[in-house]
Structure formats: structure tokens, C-alpha cells
Amino acid sequence: MLSVFIVVGSAGVVLLLLSAFLGSIAQGVDSCLDFLHVGISSAALAVAMAIFGAAGTIAWMSTDSAWLAAVIAVVAAAVMAVVSHRLISAADVDKGRANRSVVGLLGTVTSPVSVTVGEVRLDDRREVETYLARIGGQDEIDSLLGRPEQEPLAVGTRIIVRSQDEDGKLLVTSL
């Protein structure tokens, strides 16, 4: 019975390593699982297999009871399968949000923003990074026409995002 725990757990660890380093293999397994209507991702299945092996081995060594070790292993694997599947699903949803627009969001200058560059932090709770930004709008036109350049926006200045360049840099104006 111990060998079953070791083989299943080892297979789970191998699948986890393969999916971590060769993500395309996991996509193939996921399509098979979708076809079988299992409702769980390959990574969550690999986590469950690894936990099954580890929990079963530890329980076997601690209790010397094959039935108790099997029950503990199945319960631990089921719990971890559900937890890991929910975490993976939540991460996939967050990945989809990464392509949303930040235009119109408010923020605060974290390093002085000029016509060329600076940094801002946006107020949206989903935005945890700072963005490179530059002053956009009328100030940009003034600089192109040779008018005196506006002073950079000072740290702590409230801003609004007007647009975003192809390279991800934000065009902002002060409020």
C-alpha cells in the first residue's frame, strides 16, 4: 500500500514540474480533462496527486493502518484539489483583467512627472504597480510649439489618466 502512495505522489510531483516548466503540456491535459467533463485543471489534479502521496505516506508511517492512511490521503487530496482549483481559477480571472483600460482612472504622482517621464500610482485597488507617465494634453502641444515648458507635476499631485501609449506609458493631466 505504501508503494501506491509513493507512486501516485511522485507522479503528481512530476506533473507539477512539467506544467511549471512546459506549460503547453498542461494545456493538452486540460483539454483531455475538459473532454471527460472532470471540471478540474491539470495543475489542481497534480497537486491532489502529490498531496495524496504525501499525506498517505505520512499517515501510513504514523498509524500503521492502511485504511486510515487511505482515508486521510483521499480527504487531504480532495481538499487540496478544491483549494488549488479555486486559486488557479482566480489567477486566470485576474489575468483576463490585466488587459483592461486605465484611461479615466485617478491617481497620485510618486515621482515628478514632466513632458518626458515620471511615475504615478493609480487609486484603483486592482492597480498595485506604479506606471511610467508623462504630461499629456495641452502641455504637449505647448512644448511642440516652443512655448515654455510647464513645471513637472510634483510628488503628491492628483492626476487623471487621459490615454495610454502603445508602450504602456500613461498620458496624465493634473486635477
Q: Are residues 9 and 63 in the same domain?
A: yes
- Cell digits for 160? 487623471
**Residue where one domain finishes, among candidates 97, 115, 142:** 97
Residue 63 CA to residue 71 CA, distance in Å, equals 12
Higher pLDDT, 128 or 99: 128
Q: Which of 29, 58, 57, 56 is nearest to 43 (CA)?
A: 29
**Residue where one domain finishes, among candidates 45, 71, 97:** 97
Q: Are residues 90 and 114 in the same domain?
A: no
The pLDDT score that the predictor gives to residue 174 is 83
Collect all residues with Cβ–Cβ distance below 8 Å to 173 and sequence separation of at least 6.
Answer: 135, 136, 137, 139, 159, 160, 162
Angle ∠(97,79,29) on CA atoms, nearest 5:
60
21-30, 57-66, 84-93, 126-135, range with greatest mean pLDDT: 57-66
pTM: 0.50
Q: Per-residue pLDDT tens for 155-175?
A: 888 988 888 887 778 888 888
Structural domain harbouring 128: 106-174
Higher pLDDT, 124 or 37: 124
Evaluate if residue 97 carries a pLDDT over 50: no
Tell me how many domains the chain contains.
Answer: 2
Output the domain CATH number for residue 119.
2.40.50
Q: Band of the pLDDT at 96, cuts 50, 70, 90?
A: very low
How does the average pLDDT of the chain come out, rounded?
Answer: 78
Q: Which of 154, 117, 143, 142 is nearest to 132 (CA)?
A: 117
